[in-house]
């Protein structure tokens, strides 16, 4: 089926990035959130990011203006009912996502494709909470969405071929590259990445190295653009912990046990950049290690 209108659920970091990319690629986008303040902030972020792309001569001003004009916002999830494709990008909690689908499904047209930007939760299980498991799949973008070129496409056990082919075509049209993953906990990227971050936290927890030495060693020793603790702060420590718990619960292997220090930071509300403090303190001009 031809996709022309896209609904995006959640106006946070991932949601506004997804809206940005689709609008810039010519799709009409309806962005929804329970908070009008979040929608206002998302539009401001999108406009700022588009202006940055214009400034770097990545896109023309006319394209940026057209993209902004294609984005509408609403606090009413039922308004997404006319969308051809819906991408859920709400918080990484299964009960929240299930409730969203329960509310949305009665308003969707029969042929609409429903997807989730989940980074770790079972697509088959999420699909089973809807009326269209054959038209449901994982559509996992990397952060920051306008910059990162990869999209993980995850088929649930019931996802049909037409849905997969349509989503694959959409990924190509928005200028991204698809990597197809099977529906196992955390898929490909986070199955490999987040345990590495967790191991870095264990290395800190056990006193093998400081925050600075761990990040410096991984940046210079493995040529990574960010150290694992810096990256954890960027992702959000609560998200890292949630993914580790999905891996630990879903695969029942002790190698996926979340580090107690990671749990402690989340319990303290030290979630990384978004809370102003994680493995680094972001209250000043330059991030300062907290350990």
Summarize the annotated binding site for NAD(+) as residue ranges: 10-15, 33, 92, 97, 119, 143, 274
Closest CA to 64 of 21, 29, 30, 31: 21
**Within 13 Å of residue 15, how many CA atoms lie on the same side as its CB?**
26
Separation of alpha carbons 196 and 207, rounded Å? 17
> Token pair of 147, please?
């910059």
CB 14 within 8 A of CB 117: yes
First to last CA, the chain: 53
Q: Which residues in the chain belong to E strands, given as ranges?
A: 5-9, 28-32, 71-74, 85-88, 113-116, 136-141, 150-155, 177-181, 280-281, 288-289
What are the catalytic residues? 119, 140, 152, 190
Query: How far is residue 237's CA from residue 194's CA, in Å, rounded to a whole number?
Result: 10
């Amino acid at each position: 089926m031809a996709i022309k209108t896209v609904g995006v659920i959640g106006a946070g970091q991932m949601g506004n990035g997804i809206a940005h990319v689709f609008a810039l690629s010519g799709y009409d986008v309806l962005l929804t959130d329970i908070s009008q303040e979040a929608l206002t902030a998302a539009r401001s972020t999108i406009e700022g990011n588009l202006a940055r792309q214009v400034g770097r001569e990545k896109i023309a001003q006319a394209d940026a203006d057209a993209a902004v004009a294609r984005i509408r916002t609403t606090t009413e999830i039922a308004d997404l009912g006319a969308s051809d494709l819906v991408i859920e990008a709400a918080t990484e909690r299964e009960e929240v996502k299930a409730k969203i689908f329960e509310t949305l499904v009665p308003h969707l047209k029969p042929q609409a494709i429903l997807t989730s930007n989940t980074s770790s939760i079972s697509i088959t299980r999420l699909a089973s909470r809807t009326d269209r498991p054959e038209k449901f799949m994982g559509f996992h973008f990397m952060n920051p969405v306008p910059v990162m070129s990869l999209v993980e496409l995850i088929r649930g056990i019931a996802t049909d071929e037409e849905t997969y082919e349509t989503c694959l075509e959409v990924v190509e049209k928005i200028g991204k590259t698809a990597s197809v993953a099977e529906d196992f906990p955390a898929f490909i990227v986070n199955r490999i990445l987040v345990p590495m971050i967790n191991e870095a936290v264990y290395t800190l927890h056990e006193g093998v190295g400081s925050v600075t030495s761990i990040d410096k060693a991984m940046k210079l020793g493995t040529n990574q653009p960010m150290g694992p603790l810096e990256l954890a702060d960027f992702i959000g420590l609560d998200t890292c912990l949630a993914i580790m718990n999905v891996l630990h619960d879903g695969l029942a292997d002790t190698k996926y046990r979340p580090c107690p220090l990671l749990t402690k930071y989340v319990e303290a509300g030290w979630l990384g950049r978004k809370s102003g403090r994680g493995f680094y303190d972001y209250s000043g001009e330059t991030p300062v290690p907290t350990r």
